[in-house]
Amino acid sequence: MEDSIVVSEHSVAGPRQFDLDKCVHCGLCLNACPTYRVLGVEMDSPRGRVYQMVQVANGAPVTESYQEHIGLCLACRGCESACPSGVPYGRMVEDARAGLEAIAKRGWFARKVRQFVFGRLLQSRGLLSIAGTMLYLLEFSGLKALGRGVGQLKLLGRLGDLQQLTPSADPPFFFSQIGRTFPAEGERRYRVAFLAGCIANVSFARLNEATVRVLQKNGCEVVIPEGQGCCGALHLHSGMKDEARKLARINIDAVLAGAYDAVITNAAGCGSTLKEYGELLEEQPEYAEKASRFSGMMRDVTEFLGGIELNRKLGRVDAAVTYQDSCHLAHGQKVRKAPRDLLRAIPGLAFREMAGADICCGSAGVYNVVQNEMAMMILDRKMESVNATQAQIVATANPGCMLQLQAGVRLHGKEQRVMHVVEVLDLAYKNYSGA
Ligand code: SF4
Ligand code: SF4
């Protein structure tokens, strides 16, 4: 490994040997890796990262360099799709990060901020509502638009780029809908539970409403189970496995209290983690069976709609659309066809595939905040592909990707509209005239 300051001489927990042994160092994953494509550095490729994990597992000291290369990984799992040997890279990077988290030395302020965000803010409806209201007031005052404008002039450096990524508050917040049941339109074909997320209740309340409407249009009685909360994906990606397990148990109890044909999410990043609750809790006797039952019922909303007979009373949307795969949908859940099929089903909508649609846009949970420079370089390239399609709508399947792409449009785009696939469907249902 490269010479670097040693962080820990002692062995740290990391990926299982069984997983590490799967890599045959063929390099077929390299071109699928966004950080390797930008930097061209082996240590920032999947193969290089696996090599470093093996070294640490074999007793090499943990260095700052190791922390940086593991930290710069988006956990997008593009390498998993490319790998012929079935290397479970997503699980391995989560395990590597959990090991690093256990020995992390942070300053007092950084520790407190982290504790507050992960331990309290994301788990509290009250605190998220307060944060959302403050965000809304900031927007209402015009200060946020001013900040974005200044950021675009590159006067604020990295802070300017972060300004581009701040989510918007979207009152009234969706928290008020939790506990409600929405009837199916027409004959009831399914009874589904909808998990509304955490930040999405504040920043994507209209998307959540559109999701419920589209499900209702497709014969679903939609229950928003009381007691649900943050799925723990951000905790898991940041190495906080125990906290993620606690949140998983809360959601499992909330959902299994009812009887459903499926449990739906519109956030691919959350869906990937929700589908892995079975694995996350497999060593907890009281929850192992319940967690695997829960995960078996989880469906991304596009996956669910793609698997049933779609209500075809869709009006015209006269525009060209391109689709950005959400990594956790394409690579994590292997759902690629359903969102494209749904878009192609809409009359008037011309589908244009972009080059490298399944390469990460740089969003990756909180990555675009903590690794902002790399995230913006990846976004820059992504927008070249988006612009080349000349589509007016950029559709995707994850709120985090929507935020990143909206920033991309502001910085490098051609005034494209960024929409979730279900929002495009919702628009088509609204446009239906009955003719
Ligand atoms: S992760 Fe897979 S594709 Fe990449 S080098 Fe290892 S075996 Fe090859
Ligand atoms: S998860 Fe994504 S960024 Fe990380 S090594 Fe794999 S392809 Fe590269």
Pocket test residue of 51, 69, 77, 87 for ligand 2, highest count of atoms within 8 A of CB: 77
Ligand 2 pocket member 231 (CB < 6 A): no
Could you read off the pLDDT of 340-396 as tens digits, one per residue? 999 999 999 999 999 999 999 998 777 888 888 999 999 999 999 999 999 999 999
Q: Indicate if the pLDDT at residue 4 is higher than 80.
A: no
Q: What is the rounded average pLDDT of the residues 156-171?
A: 66
Pocket test residue of 23, 33, 80 for ligand 1, highest count of atoms within 8 A of CB: 23
Distance 36 CA to ligand 2 centre (A): 8
Q: How far apart are CA 427 and CA 299, in angstroms?
A: 22
For ligand 2, atom 7: residue with the closest CA: 33
Ligand 2 pocket member 76 (CB < 6 A): yes
Distance 75 CA to ligand 2 centre (A): 5
| Residue 153, pLDDT score | 47
For ligand 2, atom 6: residue with the closest CA: 79
Tell which residue, 48, 37, 38, 40, has the closest CA to residue 70: 48
Q: Indicate if the pLDDT at residue 263 is higher than 60.
A: yes
Residues in CB range of 153: below 8 A, 6 or more apart = 160
CA terminus-to-terminus distance, the chain: 67
Strands 6-8 and 62-63: antiparallel
Q: Indicate if the pLDDT at residue 339 is higher than 80.
A: yes
Could you read off the pLDDT of 308-335 as tens digits, one per residue? 999 999 999 999 999 999 999 999 999 9
Distance 411 CA to ligand 2 centre (A): 25
Question: Is-contact 298 233, C-beta < 8 A?
Answer: no
| Residue 98, pLDDT score | 87
In order, the DSSP letters of 106-161 are --HHHHHHHIIIIIIGGG-HHHHHHHHHHHHHHHHTTHHHHHHHHHHTTSSTHHHH
For ligand 1, atom 6: residue with the closest CA: 23
Cα dist from 326 to 74, 209, 345, whole Å: 12, 21, 20
Pocket test residue of 23, 73, 361 for ligand 2, highest count of atoms within 8 A of CB: 73
Could you read off the pLDDT of 349-364 as tens digits, one per residue? 999 999 999 999 998 7
| Residue 377, pLDDT score | 93
According to DSSP H, which parts of 42-123 are helical?
A: 46-57, 64-72, 78-82, 89-103, 108-114
Burial of residue 324, with CB atoms counted within 10 A of its CB: 0-12 exposed, 13-18 middle, 19 or more buried: buried
For ligand 1, atom 3: residue with the closest CA: 83
Distance 44 CA to ligand 1 centre (A): 13
For ligand 2, atom 4: residue with the closest CA: 73
Q: How far apart are CA 380 and CA 68, in angstroms?
A: 22
Angle at 63 between CA 62 and CA 64, to 5 degrees: 135
In order, the DSSP letters of 205-256 are HHHHHHHHHHHHHTTEEEE--TT----SHHHHHTT-HHHHHHHHHHHHHHHH
For ligand 1, atom 2: residue with the closest CA: 83
Ligand 1 pocket member 21 (CB < 6 A): no
Distance 293 CA to ligand 2 centre (A): 29
